[in-house]
């Protein structure tokens, strides 16, 4: 289990961005983390993968434990070795390298299992197998997302942290990515899925958390969140009457949300 307890994160010594976040990702599960822009989701992932330093961020309180052992002081490389890999928002593949070279880069912490992991990734993503020699920059958005996922899997992680894998993708590709996440999870990888696409995330997660301005404001089984009127209204774009709300309505959710009143 990956567990975050009462985590506080400050940027630039002054800006308190996570304000006592607690969250559990049990081994074998898919857990969804939802929240609007700027809620602090990416910051939480940075804390879990040891990348706060790079962004002038620092954990000032709380802990992150992996199977009961504190890991929040480990370097990014040590965390990958311990089985935690992250797929960043915006894909961040190496555009000038080929698909296979990108995948090989992902294996640098697990060189002995390179051939085995490469085989596994190319089986999971036939489109990457077909385009193995292609320069990654020429792949479509969906293919690049698959490459980013594949590269993270090359480290042989036990825990995969996904930051908005569906961002900017057409609905058919979002479904494809969702199915791949389900398959990856079936193969034994635990997933923490950060998404603004709440419907997609909650459709495959067992449990979901909703974050707002650096705090967890909801912590419930995914099925309950899907049925919750506030979640429907503010994150699924549906009013109580089932009508699709405009983005503008949804954007003004802060004023009207009921769970904090
Ligand atoms: P998004 O979906 O837009 O990425 P998010 O929920 O992931 O949103 P974060 O990116 O974690 O949110 O940002 C949380 C807050 O921290 C925001 O107010 C943001 O401006 C601030 N922030 C993020 N990175 C830094 C940084 N390197 N230095 C200072 N402030 C930062």
Note down pLDDT in tens along the chain; length 261 residues: 999 999 999 999 999 999 999 999 999 999 999 988 889 999 999 999 999 999 999 999 999 999 999 999 999 999 999 999 999 877 788 999 999 999 999 888 878 889 999 999 999 999 999 999 999 999 998 899 999 999 999 999 999 999 999 888 888 899 999 999 999 999 999 999 999 889 899 999 999 999 999 999 999 999 999 988 888 787 776 554 444 444 445 545 555 555 554
3-class DSSP assignment, residue 83: coil
User: Residue 214 has what pLDDT?
Assistant: 95
258: exposed, middle or buried (C-beta count within 10 Å: 0-12, 13-18, 19+)?
exposed
For the beta sheet containing 57-66, the strands, ordered from the edge strand earlier in sequence to the opposite edge, are: 15-25, 2-11, 57-66, 69-70
197 lines ligand 1 (CB under 6 A): no
Which residues have C-beta within 8 Å of that of residue 97, sequence separation ≥ 6? 105, 135, 136
169 lines ligand 1 (CB under 6 A): no
Q: Which helix (H) or strand (E) holds 121?
A: helix 114-124
51 lines ligand 1 (CB under 6 A): no
User: Residue 222 has what pLDDT?
Assistant: 96
Token match 């506030």: residue? 230
CA-nearest residue for atom 20, ligand 1, is 38
Domains in the chain, please, with CATH?
A: 2-221 (3.40.50.300), 228-261 (no CATH)
pTM, 2 dp: 0.89
Q: In terms of DSSP bridges, do strands 30-34 and 57-66 run parallel, antiparallel, or are they unpaired?
A: unpaired
42 lines ligand 1 (CB under 6 A): yes
Q: How far is the CA of 43 from the centre of ligand 1 (A)?
A: 6
User: Residue 3 has what pLDDT?
Assistant: 98
């Amino acid at each position: 289990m990956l567990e975050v307890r009462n985590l506080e994160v400050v940027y630039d010594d002054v800006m308190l961005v996570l304000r006592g976040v607690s969250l559990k990702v049990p081994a074998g599960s898919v857990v969804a983390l939802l929240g609007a822009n700027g809620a602090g989701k990416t910051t939480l992932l940075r804390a879990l993968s040891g990348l706060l330093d790079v962004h002038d961020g620092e954990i000032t309180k709380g802990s992150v434990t992996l199977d009961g052992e504190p890991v929040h002081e480990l370097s990014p490389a040590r965390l990958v070795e311990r089985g935690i890999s992250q797929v960043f928002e915006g894909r961040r593949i190496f555009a000038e390298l080929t698909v296979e070279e990108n995948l090989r880069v992902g294996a640098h912490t697990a060189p002995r299992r390179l051939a085995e992991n490469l085989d596994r990734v190319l089986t999971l993503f036939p489109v990457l197998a077909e385009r193995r020699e292609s320069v990654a920059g020429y792949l479509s958005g969906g293919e690049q997302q698959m490459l980013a996922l594949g590269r993270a899997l090359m480290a042989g992680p036990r825990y995969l942290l996904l930051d908005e894998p569906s961002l900017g993708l057409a609905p058919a590709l979002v479904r494809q990515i969702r199915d791949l996440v389900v398959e990856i999870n079936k193969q034994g990888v635990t997933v923490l899925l950060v998404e603004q696409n709440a419907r997609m995330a909650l459709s495959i997660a067992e449990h979901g958390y909703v974050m707002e301005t650096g705090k967890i404001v909801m912590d419930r089984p995914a099925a309950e969140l899907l049925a919750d009127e506030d979640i429907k209204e503010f994150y699924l774009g549906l009013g109580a009457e089932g009508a699709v709300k405009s983005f503008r309505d949804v954007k003004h959710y802060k004023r009207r949300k009921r769970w904090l009143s």
